[in-house]
Structure 1
Amino acid sequence: MVRVGQRLGKYRLKRRVARGGFGDVYEAYDTIEGISVALKIPLGGSVKPEQLDDFRREVRITAKLEHPNILPIKNADFLGDVFAIVQPLGEQSLDDRMSKRMTLERRLDYIDQMLAGLAHAHERGIIHCDIKPDNMILFPEGRLRLADFGIAKFARKTINASASGSVGYMAPEQAMGKPSARSDVFSAGLVIHQLLTGKLPQWPFEWPTEGKERLKVLHPDLREFVRRALEVETRKRFRDAVAMYRAFKPVKRKALRYATERRTKKS
């Protein structure tokens, strides 16, 4: 069993920071470089052949993505008998950050960065399949990086796959085993709705959703942007994160200007 305080190669495990369905993430100290990193390790430390294939696929997919809003991999190797993926260590997840107050400017900036990273993946034919606040890691100076491509798929169109993903953030068609880039769009829409209102929409995702009072004070184009992302019918959504990000840019400018004008009128 892997435990805090243990030494794995040049890394000393300091604390466990997260647990997922495939493995644990530890904060570890690199005794050579003198920095703290994140170590993703299979549950229990041991890895079965089929699990190794999953981790190898995650590494190879992530290695194809070089973008400031995607969490890179520093190394992936066996440390003794334990397989580990080494990545930069962030300060907290977006899920942690959402429990604290944020300005609209900050929320829109996080949305911008999330969509920029996801659009980069979609441009390369990679669908993430697990978009949620836990998989968005925050770094100093407000940098957001999309993480955990553990169940990502290479796909240009809808594909048949197991219904893998996170309950609460999964598009309806993904839950039926037919994910596509539009499924990531839907999941991103759920995160955006949660960021803007503090409420996570629930099935059957009827519009207007819970949190509509907070949406009412936002620019109409921003409300429409969120509504379109959360269309249950896939063909009515943005076709992928590239189109979604392109549409968000002017909406973001309008929303910021609208919010500034509202504050000015109130004062």
Structure 2
Amino acid sequence: MAATKTLAPLRVRSRLGKYRLDRRIGEGGFATVFAATDTLLGIKVALKIPHADAVTPALIAEFRREARLTMQLDHPNILPIRDASIIDGYFAIVSPLAKETLDDRIKRRIKFETAFDILTQLFAAAAYAHDSNVIHCDIKPENVLLFDDNRVRLGDFGIAKAAMATVSGAGTGTVGFMSPDQAMGRPSKRSDVFSMGLIAYRMFAGVWPEYPFEWPMAGVAPLRRRAHPDLIALIRKSIAFAPRHRYRDAPQMLKDWEKTRLKAIRFSRRR
């Protein structure tokens, strides 16, 4: 049975099937994410639940599509889905509970090598998705999840698209992290590259680059102090305004990223 508008609102410390809702950890236009306890297995999980007053058959179909798509992406840096089903009238997607998001983490000082490792794992997740012909379309710090074992996992493939010969879209994504071409309804693998380049710039420069993304941008001085010139060139290429000037996909970006590893770390240690 699908969720309806008559369902009681979910509250912290209430129960949903076998899950106890411990706290609210995120909320968007269509869904709320709760930290919860699986009372049968005794483990912590995250529950992503569409808002009851926004549920339509189309929205439920979209959540189911997200679940099926994510379950096909078996990679250590992609957030796995443990269950996707209707529980007490609510459609819920169940996944492992992260320690924090990258959005939380970048508000504190990050060592260069830690930042480099986080980005390497993010790029590996996107590279696997691209090799599987999936474009994420909403890569942003809130969707990059950090776990206690230093594992990074990319989550929320809710608006991901299958990469066909021609991919059309309606500019879906998060304003501020979207490439100009994606904002105009033309998402591609190069759009994901752009979003990851923005995150890399923020992690090393300490500020977000802004439209129209003309070089040099705000924060370029601290970026030059922290990052090897080859690493800066890679980031600059990834956030080029014109898609044809970027990496064609995440696998190509990851390959060049790995080539900079030794020189980038040595450079940071000398500084």
**Paired residue secondary structure (2:198):** helix
CA distance in 2, matches of 1:156, 1:197: 35
Indicate whether 1:70 and 2:78 are aligned.
Answer: yes
Q: How does 1:38-187 map to 2 (within 5 A)?
A: 38-44=46-52, 47-187=55-195
What displacement does 1:158 show?
4.6
Query: Is the 2:30–2:54 contact (alpha carbons within 8 Å) kept by the matching residues of 1?
Result: no
**Paired residue secondary structure (1:141):** coil
Q: Scaled by the length of structure 2, what TM-score is found?
A: 0.94
Moved over 2 A (4+): 44-47
Please point out which of 210, 216, 222 is paired with 2:224: 216
**Aligned residue for 2:249?**
240
CA distance in 2, matches of 1:258, 1:237: 25
**Aligned residue for 2:200?**
192
The amino acid of 1:251's aligned partner reads: T
CA distance in 2, matches of 1:145, 1:156: 25
What displacement does 1:46 show?
6.5
**Percentage of matched positions with identical amino acids:** 48
Indicate whether 1:16 and 2:24 are aligned.
Answer: yes
Q: Scaled by the length of structure 1, what TM-score is found?
A: 0.96
Query: Is the 2:23–2:34 contact (alpha carbons within 8 Å) kept by the matching residues of 1?
Result: yes
CA distance in 1, matches of 2:20, 2:79: 21
The amino acid of 1:220's aligned partner reads: P
The amino acid of 2:94's aligned partner reads: V
What displacement does 1:142 show?
1.5
Gaps of 5+ in 1: none
The amino acid of 1:127's aligned partner reads: I
Gaps of 5+ in 2: 1-8
**Aligned residue for 2:6?**
none
Q: Aligned pairs, how many?
A: 262
Query: Is the 2:20–2:36 contact (alpha carbons within 8 Å) kept by the matching residues of 1?
Result: yes
Aligned CA-pair RMSD: 1.1
The amino acid of 1:90's aligned partner reads: A
The amino acid of 2:239's aligned partner reads: L
CA distance in 1, matches of 2:53, 2:41: 23
* Structure 1 residues 42 and 3: alpha-carbon distance in aligned structure 2, compared to 1, 3 A threshold: same
**Alignment deviations for residues 143-195 of structure 1 (CA, whole Å, 9 cap, x no partner):** 11000000000014451111110110000010000100000000110011011
**Paired residue secondary structure (1:76):** strand
